[in-house]
Chain A
Amino acid sequence: MSELRTNRIVPKDGLPSGSSGGIVQIKYAIKNGTQSFASQGYSDTPTDISGLSVSITPTRSDSKILVQVNIGCHGSTGNAANTFRIYRGSTNITVTSANTDNRHGATVFYNSNNTSMGIPASFSVLDSPATTSATTYKVTGFTNAGTLYINRLPGDNSWNTVSTITAMEVSG
């Protein structure tokens, strides 16, 4: 048994331009419970998904953080924009300034047919927090019609999934 302790992993000759190195540490969280979101307005503050957040303390300020999220979800009605976002602290890191209302996010599911829709939501972002302080990543949910359900079906709370968030520190 051997153990290697290091804060940075890069190729022997250094990092090629535009690339990153190895993974130094991983933090993760699993949400087992269910949650539901009532319809909100486009300019309302999106709602946090409880239990779907991680705090990671980068070992170097030049590290990047790869955040990956998988959510089992279902929208109760058609013609609804169901949106998820990733936040670093209070900062939305999944959309640009050109995409400002709540219909824009890290992932969206929508069906113009007048039926409910279930879909796995998988999304990720590569962040450069430029800090060695503890950094929290959280996920928010939003719908503009009906109800957005996390980890369950609309009409039956006995059919469930789990949702996950993983944050990896990647050597910069």
Chain B
Amino acid sequence: MSSELRVDKIIPTTGVPTSGGGGIIQMVYATHDGSAHYTTTSGSWAVLTSSGSPSPFELNITPKFNTSLILVQYTGNGQQVNTQNTMSALSVFRTVTGGSAVNLGHNTCGLANIGDYSGSGSVYATGSMAFQVVDAPNTTNSVNYKLYGKTQNGSGTAYPIHSQVRATLVAMEVSA
């Protein structure tokens, strides 16, 4: 027997828990197949672009309620800047239609970073870059989540999203 629930909000019978949410109503995702790097030489946050797809690495979701939370999850790989003693940083910025971009991570190193500080020079490290963050955009307009990157100090080229590894960005609307 197959059944289908069409609903815009799912909450426990006792209500939404404090600092939490209810069920997931909808989900959107974007996947990169690893065909090219996403790089930047900027020491300030910059939109990550690539010769692969998608470029930029982004997705859009339209919440059903302005009380809804958006759970944003990312997995992928990064590689440190191609000079010693600095790092590649990754973050996600949220933009509500008509508004400005807001960094959901820390202004210095975002939500994930990778670097080698052994100081021997000409080394590079590659590794998992993953994060999850809960956002409260407070809107029922379309919300854009876009990946940004930077080098720690503006030296060299950062590889916040490395090629040859599948990267996935997911946004889920959580009832609240």
A8 to B25, CA, bound (A): 10
Min Cβ gap B115→A in Å is 11
Q: With an 8 A cutoff between CB atoms, is B106 at the interface?
A: no
Knowing A20-B27, A103-B164, A107-B75, the reply to whether A11 touches B125 (Cβ < 8 A) is: no
Q: With an 8 A cutoff between CB atoms, is B58 at the interface?
A: no
Q: A59 contacts which chain B residues (CB < 8 A)?
A: 2
Please tell me if the beta carbons of A96 and B34 are within 8 angstroms of each other in the complex: yes
Please tell me if the beta carbons of B26 and A126 are within 8 angstroms of each other in the complex: no
Please tell me if the beta carbons of A7 and B165 are within 8 angstroms of each other in the complex: no
Q: B104 contacts which chain A residues (CB < 8 A)?
A: none
A106 to B164, CA, bound (A): 9
Q: With an 8 A cutoff between CB atoms, is A121 at the interface?
A: yes
Q: With an 8 A cutoff between CB atoms, is A30 at the interface?
A: no
Q: Which of B6-14, B39-47, B92-100, B149-157 contacts A (4 or more CB under 8 A)?
A: B6-14
Across the interface, B116 reaches (CB within 8 A) one of A10, A96, A111, namely A111
Q: In the complex, how many residues of chain A place their beta carbon closer than 8 angstroms to a beta carbon of chain B? A: 52
A18 to B61, CA, bound (A): 10
**Secondary structure dominating the interface of A:** loop
Interface string of B18-36 (1 = CB under 8 A from A): 0000011111110101110
Please tell me if the beta carbons of B168 and A112 are within 8 angstroms of each other in the complex: no
A64 to B139, CA, bound (A): 27
Q: With an 8 A cutoff between CB atoms, is A91 at the interface?
A: no
Knowing A10-B4, A11-B8, the reply to whether A112 touches B75 (Cβ < 8 A) is: no
Knowing A96-B34, A104-B34, A125-B168, the reply to whether A9 touches B10 (Cβ < 8 A) is: yes
Min Cβ gap A16→B in Å is 7
Q: With an 8 A cutoff between CB atoms, is B73 at the interface?
A: yes
A60 to B29, CA, bound (A): 20
Across the interface, A12 reaches (CB within 8 A) one of B8, B23, B28, B126, namely B8
Min Cβ gap A155→B in Å is 19
Please tell me if the beta carbons of B127 and A119 are within 8 angstroms of each other in the complex: yes
Specify the chain B residue showing the minimal Cβ separation from A118: B127
Q: What is B's interface to A at a CB cutoff of 8 Å?
A: 2-8, 10, 13, 23-29, 31, 33-35, 61-62, 64, 73, 75-77, 116, 118, 120, 122-128, 130, 162, 164-166, 168, 170
Task: List 18 interface pairs A-B (beta carbons < 8 Å), by A numbering.
Answer: A6-B4, A8-B2, A8-B4, A9-B24, A11-B64, A20-B26, A20-B27, A22-B23, A22-B24, A22-B27, A96-B34, A104-B34, A107-B75, A111-B124, A112-B124, A120-B128, A125-B168, A126-B168
Beyond A9-B5, A10-B6, A107-B165, 19 additional pairs, beta carbon < 8 A: A8-B2, A9-B7, A10-B5, A12-B6, A16-B26, A18-B28, A19-B27, A21-B26, A23-B23, A66-B170, A95-B164, A109-B126, A111-B116, A111-B126, A112-B125, A117-B127, A122-B128, A123-B128, A124-B75
Q: Which 4 A-B pairs have the closest CB atoms?
A: A122-B130, A113-B123, A109-B127, A110-B126
